[in-house]
């Protein structure tokens, strides 16, 4: 079925991601924050049974290269996992529609490249984000020790002082853990972050992480208010009921 017609000025135009291998940004020609570079609008007949989204939220995924940001994005939006995913070039973007606490929410999730050579591209994307998912790999200590740098970068570039930050320790399915859960929890407490451990491979904690982030954003008045405009975006699915109530060993939200 065709994607719904987007509003002319909507940044969430197509719900489709630019090709993963295509640099979304080149030569400093960054699209405005909130506007996916080159994402064309897929126009078509409005499917039956859709409800308009109450809220649109912009979320960012940041963290070192290969920690699993794109895999988390794929898992939460498509329900898939690719064992040999290529590194993100520039910026990737996908839309996730969910119902959280009875409210139709549309998430525009931006996946930034972790590789150093793309770092200069990302600051403009931090603008107007309501939530950030800061990801490290529990099997690579260096990705954990580097978190301070990511927090500094967030402080420097985010325009929203109330932005909700979630720390995610990913790849808990792997046996060779280098970062204990309690270390992640301590770091999260120290920096007032939500915290959860996940596996994009097995999907443990993934849906729950995004739901909790959304709930926290909705509970933050300055963020909830500015994002509650109806933007005419249509919902085609409601997936928030999946994994409802998941809170296994990996879950520790503060
Ligand atoms: N076992 C396991 N492998 C994972 C998991 N998440 C991601 N991977 C793998 O780790 C590799 C890197 O994952 P990506 O999702 O591309 O990492 P990224 O953080 O987006 O990397 P950049 O695009 O370079 O910033 C891929 O081969 C994934 O298949 C996980 O939860 N468990």
223 three-class SS: helix
Instruction: Please give the pLDDT value at position 106.
Output: 94
Alpha-carbon gap, residue 34 to 108, rounded angstroms = 8
pLDDT of residue 40: 30
Q: What is the pLDDT of residue 160?
A: 81
**Most informative mutation of 21, 68, 201 for ligand 1 (most atoms within 8 A of CB):** 68
Residue 121 pLDDT: 67
- C-alpha 248, offset from chain centre: 21
Ligand 1 neighbour 88 (Cβ under 6 A): yes
Q: What share of the chain is helix, strand, coil (3-state, %, to 5)?
A: 25, 20, 55
Burial class (CB in 10 A: 0-12, 13-18, 19+), 104: buried
Place of tokens 């959304």: 214
The residue with tokens 């994607």 is 3
- Alpha carbons within 13 angstroms on the beta-carbon side of residue 10 total 28
* Nearest Cα residue to atom 6 of ligand 1: 68
Question: What is the spatial distance between Cα 198 and Cα 181, in angstroms, rounded to a whole number?
Answer: 11
pLDDT value of residue 19 = 37
**Calpha distance 152→126 (Å, rounded):** 12
CA of residue 193 relative to chain centroid, distance: 15
CA separation for the pair 236, 192 (Å, rounded): 34
The whole-angstrom separation of Cα 27 and Cα 90 is 11
Q: What pLDDT score does 86 carry?
A: 83
Q: How far apart are CA 133 and CA 172, in angstroms?
A: 17
Distance 66 CA to ligand 1 centre (A): 5
Q: Tell me the whole-structure pTM to 2 decimals.
A: 0.74
Contacts 24+ apart (CB under 8 A), 180-188: 181/138, 181/250, 181/252, 183/144, 184/136, 184/138, 184/144, 185/252, 185/254, 187/144, 187/147, 188/254
pLDDT at 115: 75
Q: State the distance from the centre of ligand 1 to the C-alpha of 88, rounded, in angstroms.
A: 10
Ligand 1 and 20: CB distance under 6 A: no
Angle, to 10 degrees, between the axis of helix 206-219 and the axis of helix 69-78? Answer: 90
> Does the Cβ of 89 fall within 6 Å of ligand 1?
no
Residue 14: per-residue pLDDT: 32
Per-residue pLDDT of the chain (254 residues; tens, 9 = 90+): 333 333 333 333 333 343 343 333 322 223 333 333 333 333 333 334 446 667 899 999 999 999 999 999 999 999 999 998 888 777 888 999 999 888 899 999 999 877 777 767 667 788 889 999 999 999 999 999 999 999 998 888 887 888 999 999 999 999 999 999 999 999 999 999 999 999 999 999 999 999 999 999 999 877 655 554 433 333 233 333 333 333 333 444 44
């Amino acid at each position: 079925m065709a994607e719904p017609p987007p509003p002319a000025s909507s940044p969430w135009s197509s719900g489709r991601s630019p090709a993963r291998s295509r640099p979304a940004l080149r030569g400093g020609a960054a699209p405005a924050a909130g506007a996916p570079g080159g994402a064309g609008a897929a126009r078509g007949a409005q499917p039956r049974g859709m409800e308009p989204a109450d809220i649109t939220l912009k979320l960012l995924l940041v963290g070192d290269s290969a920690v699993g940001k794109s895999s988390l994005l794929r898992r939460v939006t498509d329900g898939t996992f690719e064992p040999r995913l290529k590194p993100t070039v520039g910026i990737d973007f996908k839309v996730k529609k969910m119902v959280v606490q009875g409210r139709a929410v549309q998430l525009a999730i931006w996946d930034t490249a972790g590789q150093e050579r793309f770092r200069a591209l990302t600051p403009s994307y931090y603008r107007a984000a309501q939530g950030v998912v800061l990801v490290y790999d529990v099997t690579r200590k260096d990705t954990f020790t580097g978190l301070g740098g990511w927090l500094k970068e967030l402080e420097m570039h985010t325009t929203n002082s109330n932005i909700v930050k979630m720390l995610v320790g990913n790849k808990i399915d792997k046996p060779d853990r280098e970062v204990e859960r309690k270390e992640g929890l301590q770091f999260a407490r120290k920096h007032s972050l939500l915290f959860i451990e996940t596996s994009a491979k097995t999907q443990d904690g993934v849906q729950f992480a995004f739901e909790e982030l959304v709930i926290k954003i909705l509970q933050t008045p300055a963020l909830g208010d500015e994002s509650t405009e109806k933007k005419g975006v249509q919902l085609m699915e409601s997936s928030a009921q999946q994994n409802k109530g998941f809170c296994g060993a990996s879950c520790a939200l503060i």
